[in-house]
Amino acid sequence: MDKVGSLFAYKTAKYVVAKNKTIGILYRLFQLIVLGYLIGWVFLKNKKYQITDEIIQSSVKTKVKGYATITTSDGKEEVWGPEDYVIPQQGDNVFFVTTNLVDTPNQTLGYCPESPSAIGFNCTEDADCKQSKFFGNGKKTGICLNITNSNFTGICEIYGWCPPKTKDRPKTPVLSEAENFILQIRNNIRFPKFNFTGSNFKGKSIKQLNTCFYDEIKEPHCPVFRLGDIVQKAGYSFQEMAVYGGSIGIMVEWQCDLDKGWDCNPQYSFARLGNSPTHEFKFRYVRYFTDANGGKYRTHYSVSGIHFDVMVFGMAGMFGIIPTIVNLGSGFAFMGAGAYICDIILLYMMKKRTLYRVLKFETVKKNDKNIEKIV
């Protein structure tokens, strides 16, 4: 019967002041820890009183400047500008800067021996020169050429662009001057939740962008960098990377506290994407020409260089009453846990725990004579 009656009993709090120094110090210490966590970590460090927007809308335009003198394979000296060594030329957030190359000029369509370095083209008889679909610089004609003035005894004839590439990549970068080329990054961003827009070149004229360099304190709105400095800040030597090529990530981070004003500056960081020595970056392309008689010829380029990837991310925040109330409520609820822990220690671990339990818990029945006298 008592068990059934307990379902309809009501419990109300009874406050007992326990003048115990140990429990009192423990309770105040717990309150201070929670208060310090709430103010220091939640509000000051992580700014949980703010409404945030992590959806960043971004556009990036890049421009590389600088000229280099190179010597081609036929001994000619050429001056290369951005239109020669930057691919693609339109200036996207992903671009490639040529630093090393092997050029094969004056190629024309015709018949010639394959390059000695090509796989599967050495031969001793015509039967060795069957068609290969994947390797080489042209289509096999089925003829084995015995060339006596070379280091090999036989090579398959091909029909293709002749002569094929025969030289190896130089061990010293052809465009070693690329270390001093200048990179300009123009980045416009928008956080749609707050309708906040910004740019990393705010207030800079074209003339100023051509004469300044980025400095976090002195020139936060000058997005101009030296290529050698970018690779160095990523932890690598530009001249070593320029031989075989590689990929560099340029991170543009926007952390905008709009409570401090609507002027926000980005932070830049740099990292190599794939730091293994085998992570090269190279490819091939050609340039076609027409002679006075209408004949077509071309120059073949096998290039290595540095691939740059500009990545933009960030977050904007502004004071909001709802996240403030939610985090304050969570902090005060956590303070209540301190009282619960102290109650457990006081009622079940202290020497006078029996006395504290008697004082804290009291059952009042409906027919209690003492209650009737009070009433």
Question: Hey, what domains does the chain have and what are their CATH numbers?
Answer: 10-49+320-374 (1.10.287.940), 54-114+164-317 (2.60.490.10)
Looking at residue 363, its pLDDT comes to 67
How far is 335 from 66, CA to CA, in rounded Å?
63
Per-residue pLDDT in tens (0 to 9) along the chain, 375 residues: 555 656 667 766 666 777 777 777 887 888 888 888 888 888 888 888 889 999 999 999 999 999 999 988 878 889 999 999 999 888 889 999 999 999 999 999 999 998 888 888 888 888 888 876 677 888 888 888 876 555 556 888 999 999 998 788 888 999 999 999 999 999 999 999 999 999 988 878 888 888 899 988 888 889 999 999 999 999 999 999 999 999 999 999 999 999 888 888 899 999 998 766 567 899 999 999 998 888 899 999 999 999 999 999 999 999 989 988 988 888 888 877 777 787 777 777 777 767 667 667 666 665 655 544 444
Under 8 Å between Cβ of 160 and 109: yes
Under 8 Å between Cβ of 286 and 298: yes
Q: What is the largest CA-CA distance in the chain?
A: 129
Looking at residue 14, its pLDDT comes to 67
CA distances from 242 to 78, 117, 226, 274, 349 (A): 19, 23, 15, 15, 70
Structure tokens at 15: 């406050």
pTM of the model: 0.78
Sequence-ordered list of residues with C-beta below 8 angstroms from that of 69, at least 6 positions apart, any chain: 77, 78, 79, 80, 177
Can you spell out the DSSP letters for 87-151? ESTT--SEEEEEEEEEEEEEEEEEEEEPPTTSTT-B-SSGGG----SSSSSEEEEEEEE--TTSS
How far is 250 from 233, CA to CA, in rounded Å?
10
Q: Which of 141, 136, 147 is nearest to 126 (CA)?
A: 141
Q: Which of 207, 203, 225 is nearest to 215 (CA)?
A: 225
How far is 223 from 61, CA to CA, in rounded Å?
11
Around Cβ 74, how many Cβ atoms within 10 Å? 10
- Amino acid, single-letter form, for residue 263: D
Residue 254 belongs to what H/E stretch?
strand 246-257
Q: Which residues pair with 62 in a beta bridge?
A: 185
Looking at residue 374, its pLDDT comes to 44
Around Cβ 274, how many Cβ atoms within 10 Å? 13
